[in-house]
Structure 1
Amino acid sequence: MAEDFPKLNGTGEELTEKQLKWGYWFTAHRLQLYKGLIWFFIIFDILLGGYNLYSWGDYLFFGYFNDQKLLTDIRTSSLNFQSLQEHFAAKPIVVEGSVSFPLGDKTDALVLLRNPNNNFFVKFDYTFLLNGQVLERQSSFLLPGELKYLAQLGIKGGGEINFNLVGTSWHRISTRELVNPQKFIAERLQFETSETQTFREPYNHLTFNVQNNSFYNYWQADFLVLLKNYETIIGVEKLALDNFNAGEKRPVDLRIEGGLNPNNIQLVPDLNVFDEAIYKR
């Protein structure tokens, strides 16, 4: 009879009693396990949804206003940074005043400029204008903190004279390279005049001495000579002294306009002391 049934090939392993009990328990409780898993996901979704609702509510009532405050603080910080930049940036050149001196069919023009920055050197272009007409474009500079006259002589014609700055290029003087720019400048611009006299024969002219009291030799020292009656400026001339050495006293004979009779002069140096090319070595 047993021969009527085919032989079944097993796995070669027999189930233990523990495995049989586990299989029976799992089969008997499979429905409960399925329901428990469903309830787990339901509770998880409820908790997750509740947390999301709490987070959105917290943002709507608190976070949104905190973000707005943060944006305001950022804008304020940006404005403060801009103000800080403006505070440390170079202040513009100040035009202190101008004057013109009619001399027959010509006019001499004089303007006073000031660099309000003690740690900035500036190069710039400028023009004078006669009755609104732009004259020759010229270049100059201002040392840190310098109060300086510029002049244009022999302008043909008469009328209203104006001054216009065309462009500026600022250069910060680093304190690591130069601790005291004012001292540096003062040590190099030590010039003194003496024995000033005015003569009308054989032509109208001034004689005076210029002494270089600095320790520096210059290839060419340029000056404006302001002609004064006491403290009032009545005219202006230009002066250039070649090979002007330290300690040297140089006699000057300067021709001036016939109608002028100054009793005083002021010598205004026009030397870029930061340019190494001006010094004789």
Structure 2
Amino acid sequence: MPKNKDADNTSAEIKLNNNLKSYRPIEGPTNLQLNMGLWWVEHRAFLRRILIGLLILASISFWGYGIYGFAEYYYRGLPEEEQISRLLTAVPAISHDFIKRLAADDFLVGNVNILPGGGGDNSDLAVKIQNPNADWYATFDYFFVIGQNTTETKREFLLPKEEKYLAEFLYDGPKPANARVEIANINWSRVNVREFDSLYQGNVEQFVKERANIEAAGAELLPGSSGQDPLNTLNFIAENNSPFNYWEVDFLIILQSGSRLAGINKYKVEQLKSGESKKISIIWPGRISGSQIKIIPSVNIFDKSNYIPFELGSGQLK
């Protein structure tokens, strides 16, 4: 009999446990929540000690890193700062003269020449200007001032080391006794020939010489028939000896009597291609004196829009 009673008790406990596991309360916490709450109550003190230990470890790490950084700055940073300060004080100060030496030098400008114009009572104004810089290119505006009057503003350029004349043709105001030239809006650009072609290796002189290799050959001035305003004829050949095609090339025509400027004119040749020669004939009215003819070509080789692209045929590399 006792054995049967124990068996009944065991069976009852198993049944009770199964009922508890399958119990789903309608209200209140579930068994899982009760178990978690019980685990938290039993282990709360232990978890608190772990958290305190982690905080202490983090605090020790931060304080240790701070002390190490301060010590490193004291023993290494301060001496390095003192050394840098000594080096900075040893470097010479950048003076105004130093900056000026790095900048472009001003134009060299001569006196204004007042010349007889192409017939009538008008006048031509001309002044020699030079860019003394070997590696600076400039664009600028200019106009002439005659008493209270000014001429129209024009845009011009100067290549490195280039010399030319600025001119105002057929000024029809009262014949001036003197005049001056005003130059404004100067835009200096240091020449970087590698921007155009790396073959020049920074040699500005070679770059300018090759690309501005344009000549005026066979210049001949034929005086016109005698009269009040004779029509003279100037003939020359414009030759493009450079390997590039240009949309525009200016030719400044100078007449000299000894060292004195006696007359000036200007002619623009359009679409002058590489290796091309063009015969130019200009009618130059007025009484012209002067035994020496000088024709100065001027082409803006730094204006990329002035280059005519080469026309390549089929089968050629492009």
Q: Shared fold (TM-score greater than 0.5)?
A: yes
Counterpart selection for 1:199 from 208, 217, 223: 223
CA distance in 2, matches of 1:121, 1:228: 28
Given the superposition, is the C-alpha separation of residues 89 and 126 from structure 1 closer, same or farther in structure 2, using an over 3 Å criterion?
same
- Specify the alignment match of 2:106 in structure 1: 92
Compared CA separation, residues 137 and 200, structure 1 to 2 (3 A)? same
Q: Distance in 2 between matches of 1:220 and 1:228?
A: 26
- Percent identity, please: 28
Call closer, same or farther: CA 1:75–1:111 in 2, change over 3 Å. farther
* Closer/same/farther in 2, CA of residues 164 and 74 from structure 1, 3 Å limit: farther
Verify the 8 A CA contact 2:257 2:292 in the aligned structure 1: yes
Instruction: After TM superposition, give the deviation of residue 263 of structure 1 in Å.
Output: 3.6
Q: Any idea what the Cα deviations from partners look like across 1:22-59, whole Å, max 9, x if unmatched? A: xxxxxxxxxxxxxxxxxxxxxxxxxxxxxxxxxxxxxx
Q: How many residues align?
A: 210
CA pair 105-148 structure 1, distance change in 2 beyond 3 A: same
**Partner residue, 2:308:** 280
Give the alignment partner of residue 269 of structure 2, picking from 241, 244, 253.
241
Q: Which residue of 2 aligns with 1:185?
A: 208
CA distance in 2 between counterparts of 1:118 and 1:148 reads 16
SS of equivalent residue, structure 1 residue 225: strand
Say whether the 8 Å CA contact 1:192–1:212 is kept in structure 2.
no
**Equivalent residues in 2 for 1:60-209 (5 A)?**
77-78=92-93, 80-103=94-117, 104-157=120-173, 158-159=175-176, 160-174=178-192, 177=195, 179-190=202-213, 191-201=215-225, 203-209=231-237
Structure-2-length-normalised TM-score: 0.59
Q: Distance in 1 between matches of 2:289 and 2:150?
A: 31
Counterpart residue type for residue 185 of structure 2? G
Q: 1:108 is aligned with what amino acid?
A: D
| CA distance in structure 2 between the aligned counterparts of 1:175 and 1:258, rounded to whole angstroms | 44
**Alpha carbons of structure 1 residues 203 and 105: separation in structure 2 relative to 1, 3 Å:** closer
Deviation at 1:82, TM superposition (A): 3.2
TM-score scaled to structure 1, two decimals? 0.67
- In 2, distance between residues paired with 1:212 and 1:174? 24
Q: Separation in 1 of the partners of 2:287 and 2:183? A: 31
Q: Which residue of 2 aligns with 1:268?
A: 296
Q: Structure 2: which amino acid aligns with 1:92?
A: D
Q: Helix, strand or coil: the match of 2:111?
A: strand
> 2:111 touches 2:180 (CA, 8 Å); kept in 1?
no
In structure 1, C-alpha distance between the alignment counterparts of 2:188 and 2:154, rounded to whole Å: 17
RMSD: 2.6
Using the alignment, how far apart are the partners of 1:175 and 1:205 within structure 2? Answer: 40
Cα deviation, residue 261, structure 1: 4.1
Contact 2:143 2:182 in 1 (8 A): yes
Q: Structure 1: how far apart are the matches of 2:292 and 2:193?
A: 38
Return the alpha-carbon distance in structure 1 between the equivalents of residues 107 and 90 of structure 2: 31
In structure 2, relative to structure 1, the CA distance for the partners of 1:112 and 1:101 (3 Å cut) is: same
Gapped regions of structure 1 (runs ≥ 5) = 1-69
- 1:138 positional shift: 1.4
| Shift, 1:118, TM fit | 1.0
Q: Distance in 2 between matches of 1:236 and 1:258?
A: 12
Cα pair 2:221 2:234 within 8 Å, conserved: yes
Q: Is the 8 A contact 2:107 2:132 kept in 1?
A: yes
